[in-house]
C-alpha cells in the first residue's frame, strides 16, 4: 500500500461507519432530497449508494454524503468514483472559496486514492482528473488557481460528453465559482445559466433544483449586474438611468424620484 493509500485509510478511520439505521432510512431520505442518475463502473449496491451520495452532495448535506460515499466503498472497495465523491464533498460549498485544514487534507487524500484506483471509462477518468486538479499542489497553490484548473479539466469532459447531465451541471457550477467579480459582461455566469436552466426543466426532481437553493441564489447573485454609479451635476437633476434626483442644496442628499 502506497503512502497516499495509508494516509487516506488513516483519515477514513477517524470517521464513524454508516449506522444501520441510516441505511434503513436511506430510501425515505432520498425521497426528500431528490434523485440523481449517475452511472458509474461499480457494482449494483455501490451504484445505489453512490447516487444517494450525489443527491446529498447536491443538497449540501456534507456529513450524510460522506457516509453515503463510505457505504459505496464498503460495497465495492475498487470503486474509484466513491473517492471522487469524497474529494468533492471535502471541498464543500463550491462558492465559498474552498476548504482549509483537515477538509483540504482529506480531499487531497481522497483524490489521490481515486486516481490510484483508476476507472475503466474515459468519462470517469476525466472526472477523476478534475478532482486531482482540484487538490494538486495544495500546499503551495491557492484554492482559486486549483479551482480554475478543475474547471478547465471539466470543460474538456463536458465537451466530450455534452449529453451527460451530471458532467454538465458540475461544469456549469465551476463556471460560476470561477467567475471574476471584475467581469461586468458576466460571461461565465451566462454560460452556466445556459447549461443549467434546460437541465432543471428536464429533471424537475433533481436535488440541484429541489433543494439546492444555495446554489441557485449564488447564481442569481452572480448574474446581477453591478450598480451603476450616479454622478449628478450640481445644477441639474440626475440622469434618468439613475432613478434619483437631487434634493435641496441644503441637505446635499438624494431621494427617490
The pLDDT of residue 255? 43
Q: How far apart are CA 173 and CA 170, in angstroms?
A: 5
Given a cut of 60, whether residue 132 has pLDDT beyond it is yes
The pLDDT of residue 24? 40
The pLDDT of residue 92? 93
The pLDDT of residue 223? 52
Q: What is the pLDDT of residues 23-52, one digit of tens each?
A: 444 455 555 778 899 999 999 999 999 999
More confident residue, 6 or 107: 107
With cut-offs at 50, 70 and 90, classify the pLDDT of residue 102. Answer: very high
What is the mean predicted confidence (pLDDT) over 89-109? 92
The pLDDT of residue 64? 95
Q: In sequence order, what are the residues at sequence separation of 6 or more whose Cβ sits closer than 8 angstroms to the Cβ of residue 122?
A: 160
The pLDDT of residue 206? 84
What is the mean predicted confidence (pLDDT) over 132-142? 95
Given a cut of 50, whether residue 100 has pLDDT beyond it is yes
* Grid cell in block for residue 249: 442644496
Report the mean per-residue pLDDT for the chain.
79
Alpha-carbon distances of 165 from 26, 171, 197, 206, 250, rounded to whole Å: 23, 10, 12, 10, 60
Cβ atoms < 10 Å from Cβ of 166? 20
CA quadruple 72, 45, 59, 125: dihedral sign: positive
Are 247 and 254 within 8 A, CB to CB? yes
Query: Containing H/E element for 230?
Result: none
The pLDDT of residue 157? 98
Q: How far apart are CA 48 and CA 39, in angstroms?
A: 9
The pLDDT of residue 224? 53
pLDDT-above-90 percentage for the chain: 60
Given a cut of 50, whether residue 213 has pLDDT beyond it is no
The pLDDT of residue 34? 81
Q: What is the pLDDT of residues 237-250, one digit of tens each?
A: 444 444 443 334 44
Q: What is the pLDDT of residues 183-206, one digit of tens each?
A: 999 999 999 999 999 998 888 878
pTM of the entire structure? 0.73
Amino acid at each position: 500500500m502506497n503512502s497516499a493509500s495509508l494516509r487516506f485509510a488513516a483519515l477514513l478511520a477517524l470517521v464513524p461507519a454508516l449506522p444501520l439505521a441510516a441505511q434503513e432510512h436511506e430510501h425515505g431520505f432520498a425521497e426528500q432530497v431528490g434523485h440523481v442518475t449517475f452511472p458509474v463502473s461499480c457494482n449494483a449496491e455501490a451504484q445505489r449508494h453512490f447516487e444517494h451520495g450525489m443527491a446529498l452532495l447536491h443538497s449540501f448535506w456534507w456529513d450524510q454524503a460522506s457516509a453515503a460515499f463510505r457505504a459505496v466503498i464498503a460495497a465495492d472497495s475498487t470503486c474509484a468514483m466513491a473517492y471522487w465523491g469524497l474529494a468533492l464533498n471535502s471541498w464543500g460549498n463550491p462558492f465559498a472559496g474552498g476548504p482549509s485544514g483537515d477538509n483540504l487534507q482529506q480531499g487531497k487524500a481522497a483524490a489521490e486514492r481515486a486516481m490510484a484506483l483508476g476507472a475503466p471509462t474515459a468519462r470517469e477518468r476525466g472526472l477523476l482528473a478534475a478532482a486531482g486538479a482540484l487538490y494538486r499542489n495544495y500546499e503551495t497553490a491557492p484554492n482559486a488557481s486549483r479551482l480554475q484548473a478543475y474547471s478547465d479539466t471539466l470543460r474538456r469532459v463536458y465537451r466530450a460528453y455534452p449529453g451527460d447531465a451530471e458532467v454538465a451541471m458540475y461544469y456549469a457550477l465551476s463556471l460560476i465559482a470561477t467567475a471574476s467579480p471584475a467581469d461586468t459582461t458576466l460571461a461565465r455566469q451566462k454560460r452556466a445559466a445556459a447549461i443549467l436552466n434546460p437541465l432543471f426543466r428536464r429533471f424537475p426532481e433533481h436535488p440541484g433544483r429541489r433543494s439546492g437553493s444555495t446554489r441557485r441564489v449564488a447564481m442569481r447573485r452572480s448574474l446581477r449586474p453591478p450598480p451603476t454609479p450616479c454622478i449628478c451635476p450640481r445644477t441639474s437633476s440626475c440622469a434618468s438611468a439613475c432613478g434619483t434626483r437631487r434634493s435641496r442644496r441644503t441637505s446635499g442628499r438624494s431621494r427617490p424620484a
